[in-house]
Amino acid sequence: MNKKTLCNAFTIDVEDYFQVSAFEKHIRRDDWPTLPCRIEQNMTRILALLDEYNIKATFFTLGWIAERYPKLIQELVACGHELASHGYSHIRVTQQERTAFIKDVRHTKALLEDISGIEVLGYRAASYSIDRTCLWAHAALYESGYRYSSSIYPIHHDLYGIPDAPRFVYQPLLDHPEFIEIPITTADFFGHRIPAGGGGYFRFFPYWFSRFAIERVNSQDKESALFYFHPWEIDPEQPKQTGINLKTRFRHYLNLHRTESRLRQLFTDFHWDRMDRIFLDKTINNHAIK
């Protein structure tokens, strides 16, 4: 059992099942309004679960969702959770020019702030899509009023990642050390980085492995871990997509029926809190990726 010596960050990427990047070739954004949304019922379950364990979290929210479900946004803020931006309609940074990206992140920040009545400080790119081709995004986020990003996964992956990026919080802008990047958590095993931050890996690995990896980060690295998941990951009854390949089907639907029970174990085994409370005042090293 973890001794709970460190507090870790619990985060939710607020998007519906039909908005994931893996389905973008199969589901047009123009068709989103016609599809059955399940975000309200899943978010209601998540908020109740967090309340049961007295946990505050950070919700990286799509502007598209917030615009259609403003009461949901107001409720999560009223419950004491942090509201952060996930962009407007889940377009990867690698698919946007700088001007379009700036317009997107500024519009979404203003929209979330208008709905919630609070300042939005954090941003997470769709599918962790800040990579070496678009490191300019950090400066664009800073210039747009954000204080932190959580958009880099320091691993090898076929869809995202900067494998040699820092594993823990760093300052990506040499001229603006007040802006920080908070990478998704990895555990180091004999020089190899193993994903330990949730998502599909949390459903793929047995729970004991995820617990062991987070404990290793807390005890060996003496760092807070960052965990994430999506509302659709607790929803095995969501509409099933047809025409997708075997790898995509495996990644999306694997062990959805086990996610909630594993989250309950996670809440029992570790301390959790919001991103801003854990990381914004943290002493960190200046490290710009070359």
Task: Return the sign of the alpha-carbon dihedral for residues 263, 223, 7, 87.
Answer: negative
Residue 5 has pLDDT above 80, yes or no: no
Tell me how far apart the alpha carbons of residues 130 and 148 are, in angstroms, rounded to a whole number.
13
Q: What does the pLDDT look like over 144-170, one tens digit per residue?
A: 999 999 999 998 776 777 999 999 999
**pLDDT for res 155:** 86
Q: What is d(CA 210, CA 194) in angstroms, rounded to the nearest whole number?
A: 10
d(CA 214, CA 270): 9
Contact (CB, 8 A) for 46 and 229? no
The percentage of the chain sitting over the pLDDT mark of 90, rounded to a whole number, equals: 88
CATH for 7-286 (1.20.1250.20, 3.40.228.10, 3.20.20.370, 3.40.50.2000)? 3.20.20.370
More confidently predicted of 44 and 5: 44
CA dihedral 104, 109, 111, 113 (to 10 degrees): 180
The identity of residue 82, as a single letter, is: E
Q: Which residues pair with 267 in a beta bridge?
A: none
pLDDT for 270: 98
Which residues, 6+ apart, have CB-to-CB distance to 35 below 8 Å?
16, 18, 27, 239
CA 104 to chain centre: 18
Question: Which H helix or E strand runs over 186?
Answer: strand 186-189
| C-alpha pair distances (Å), 49 with each of 80, 81, 231 | 14, 13, 12
Q: Do 270 and 4 contact (CB within 8 A), yes or no?
A: yes
**Helix/strand/coil percent split, the chain, to 5:** 45, 15, 40
Half-sphere exposure in the Cβ direction for 110 (13 Å, CA):
7
pLDDT band at 244 (very low <50, low <70, confident <90, very high): very high
Question: What b/e sequence results for 33-57 when a residue is b if at least 16 CB atoms lie within 10 Å of its CB, and e otherwise?
Answer: eeeebbbeebbeebbebbeeeebeb
pLDDT at 27 over 70: yes
65 alpha carbon, distance to own chain's centre: 15
42-87 confidence digits (pLDDT tens): 999 999 999 999 999 999 999 999 999 999 999 999 999 999 999 9
